[in-house]
Chain A
Amino acid sequence: MNDLLELLKTNARLSDRELAVLLGKQEQEIKESIAKLESDGVIKGYSAIIDEAKADPNSVKALIELKVTPQSQSGYDEIACEIADYEQVEGVMLMSGGYDVLVSVKGRNIREISQFVSARLAAIDAVTSTVTHFQLKAYKDNGIIIHEEDHDERGLISP
């Protein structure tokens, strides 16, 4: 990944000017690079990394493994897109290994997620099985430590 993307990934709020200074470029160049990354669809959006447990202590997150029968024309795409359309779904990925599709879901409580799984996901004809894992605690998300402040172990003292 290039340096510009790395910087935006760790802090999307850096201004064009700050990015220009960090990368030793002109502000205009940065503006243009970002515009291009956006129009090429490399950058899909900008979001905050939130410690959900702090923002809403009652909210629940789950990862759901789905076994899916591929469709004759579209393979997994159609089913995956259908699932992605649900508002509570935060992520959908086709996976290698013991199952086919991994869905991450956020809900207000366990019951809400359970209902979503049984009424929505399991109800899809092509979905042959589901395994739901509830998230107990988050330590790191999108490269950012969220469990606790990154502690600087270096002493104040140096020779």
Chain B
Amino acid sequence: MSMDYDKLLNPVAVNMKPSGIRKFFDIAEQVEGVISLGVGEPDFKTPWKIRETAIDSLHKGRTCYTANAGMLTLRKHIADYFESTIGVSYDPVHELLVSVGGSEAIDIAVRSIISAGDEALVIEPSFVCYTPIVEMAGGKAVPIATKVEDEFRLTAEQLKAAITPKTKLLILPFPNNPTGAVMRKEDLEPIAEVLRDTDIFVLSDEIYSELTYSGKHCSIASLDGMKERTVVINGFSKSFAMTGWRLGFAAAPEGILKNMLKLHQYCIMSSPTTSQYAAVTALSECRGDIEKMKNEYNMRRRYVVDGFNRLGLDCFTPQGAFYVFPCISSTGLSSEEFCERLVYSKKVAVVPGSAFGESGEGFIRVSYAYSLAHLKEALYRIGEFLEELK
């Protein structure tokens, strides 16, 4: 007799929806010769100096576990990094930990904060992992849909309206994937004001912070009374083009961090040692490389926004990350229909906005982490596709 897995296994896992991005890529993969604007990782290689440090560490046989929270040297560099970028001081011994990508940090932060019955406010459209992780922790994810007319920012009114006595956590992912929205200090201050008199925590996912194109990235943790309730998450993947190294980090007050550290210690032990050595070089010697990559992304950003607007698809001008989020509702197609037809007829893969939450319906996510020649060709094909729809 075979086992009925769907009946026997954890219903939360069984009923969890697979990522909408994943689902669409399964379709795109079937199409021969497809050109993609779908990938959510930099097209740059990790700067050579960082790779060299990793190789050197292997030559020297540095292959053991590190401290659970990560090498202290690295944590000290991370503390300096936070101090210089967001102006918040963290104690490298008690308030920082090195995780396996930003993703693990999100997971252990949510699981440390959320228990059965708690509500977590999830900004949408946003990266796909928050809701499933909240649900695995027994919590309920309550979406707050940001709007293009608000430049996809969270407003204090929306936040107030969503808070209930069960609200335990606000997940704030800016600069945002997929919209490219950012929240400036003046946008964050009213949010902080709503939270100050509550016991609500904030998970501020700032993985794209280095890719902020005009002005400086601001973290909610830097505002009065916010550090004590905020977990800041960042990492090396997007800023230093280090996706495959799987290295992120989290900063939080000791009371939160020590609990996250327990989870990390039981499920991970310590983050990859080779990557940690590489990361020390990234932070201490390669901050200039970020500027070069950012400059390149910025050019492409202007190019792609202009391209979509010229094709007649309204495109919000993103201020961060490396995605644009044009509105396709003028075509009369749903996001999924648009993407499926585009990939079949013109062999261009983009991701339906609906993969990032219901409020993403009517939009598509286009990554510009591609060469100019590639972007030009893709825009040309999308232009042909739109002509044929008329």
Binding site for B on A (CB under 8 A): 3, 7, 10-11, 18, 21-24, 150, 152, 154-159
Number of A-B residue pairs at CB separation under 8 A: 51
* Known contacts A154-B39, A156-B349, then 16 further A-B pairs from the complex at CB < 8 Å, ordered by chain A residue: A3-B295, A3-B299, A11-B372, A23-B299, A23-B302, A154-B41, A154-B43, A156-B28, A156-B36, A157-B29, A158-B25, A158-B38, A159-B19, A159-B21, A159-B103, A159-B129
Which chain B residues border A150 with CB–CB below 8 Å?
A: 371
B303 CB–A CB distance under 8 Å: yes
Task: Out of B22, B34, B298, B372, name the residue touching A159 (CB < 8 Å).
Answer: B22
Per-position 1/0 for B8-28, Cβ under 8 A of A: 000000000001011001001
**Cross-chain pairs A/B with CB under 8 angstroms, 10 sampled:** A11-B372, A18-B303, A21-B302, A22-B300, A22-B302, A23-B299, A154-B39, A155-B39, A158-B41, A159-B21
With contacts A156-B349, A158-B21 known, is A22 near B303, CB below 8 A? yes
Instruction: Tell whether A156 pairs with B39 under 8 Å between CB atoms, given A3-B295, A11-B372, A11-B373.
Output: yes
Q: Kindly list chain A residues whose C-beta atoms are within 8 Å of the C-beta of B314.
A: none
Which residue of the partner chain, among A22, A154, A158, contacts B299 with CB atoms under 8 Å? A22
B43: which A residues are within 8 A, CB to CB? 152, 154
Which residues B295-338 have CB closer than 8 A to chain A?
A: 295, 298-300, 302-303, 306
Bound together, the chains give a CA A155 to CA B34 distance in angstroms of 12
Q: In the docked arrangement, what's the CA distance between A152 and B41, Å?
A: 11
Q: Lowest 9 CB-CB distances: which A-B pairs, in order?
A: A158-B40, A22-B299, A21-B306, A154-B39, A157-B25, A156-B25, A22-B303, A21-B302, A21-B303
Instruction: Tell me, rounded to whole Å, the shortest Cβ–Cβ distance linking A82 to chain B.
Output: 40
A7 to B302, CA, bound (A): 14
Q: Which residues of B contact A152 (CB under 8 A)?
A: 43
> In the bound complex, how far is the Cα of B45 from the Cα of A150, in angstroms?
12
B343-381: which have CB < 8 Å to A?
Answer: 349, 371-373
Give CA–CA (A3, B34) in the complex, Å.
Answer: 31
Nearest opposing residue in chain B for A23, CB measure: B299
List residues of chain A with CB within 8 A of the CB of B303.
18, 21-22
